[in-house]
Amino acid sequence: MSPKQIKIFEKKKLLIVWNDGSESKIDLKYLRDECPCASCKGETILMKTYRPVKPAATTPEMYKIKDIETIGGYAIQITWKDGHNTGIYTWEYIQQLDKDQLDNTQHNYNDLI
């Protein structure tokens, strides 16, 4: 599935209208808190695991989108107003976040070594 339209909805949500007519509305705070990049979620390289430190303070700019770019035909890259832009959100990950936000599920990647 791929998006037909991507836009900010009511200044608090990312709205994606999919090519099958369904919609995803994801709260911007949840979207940012679940950023999939290595500096937010960690990574394992050559059997060594890096787990990032949680930010000590949050700012309103962290949860506002400055720009959205499509990456190939499979994802978007969001630039947040605080300058963070390393997360690449695949269509599948966005759809999973849409489902998980009701329970506020955190994607911690606990299966990292």
Sheet holding 88-90, edge to edge: 65-71, 75-80, 88-90
Let me know if residue 26 belongs to a domain.
yes
What pLDDT is recorded for position 110? 56
- Residue 108 in any domain: the answer is no
At 44, is the pLDDT very low, low, confident or very high (cuts 50, 70, 90)? confident
The answer to whether position 92 is within a domain reads: yes
45 is a domain residue: no
pLDDT in tens, 59-69: 888 999 999 99
Q: Do the domain assignments include residue 86?
A: yes
Q: What DSSP string describes 32-81?
A: HHT--SHHHH-EEETTEEE-PPPPS---GGGGSEEEEEEETTTEEEEEET
pLDDT of residue 108: 65
For residue 28, is it within any domain? yes
Residues 50/39, Cβ–Cβ less than 8 Å:
no
Looking at residue 40, its amino acid is C
Q: Can you give the CATH number for the domain in which 79 is found?
A: 3.30.2020.30
In this prediction, residue 48 carries a pLDDT of: 78
42 is a domain residue: no
Full domain range(s) for residue 92: 3-34+61-100
Contact present, 14 and 8 (Cβ < 8 Å):
yes
Number of domains in the chain: 1
pLDDT in the model for residue 77: 98
Residue 98 pLDDT: 96
The answer to the question of residue 22 being in a domain is yes
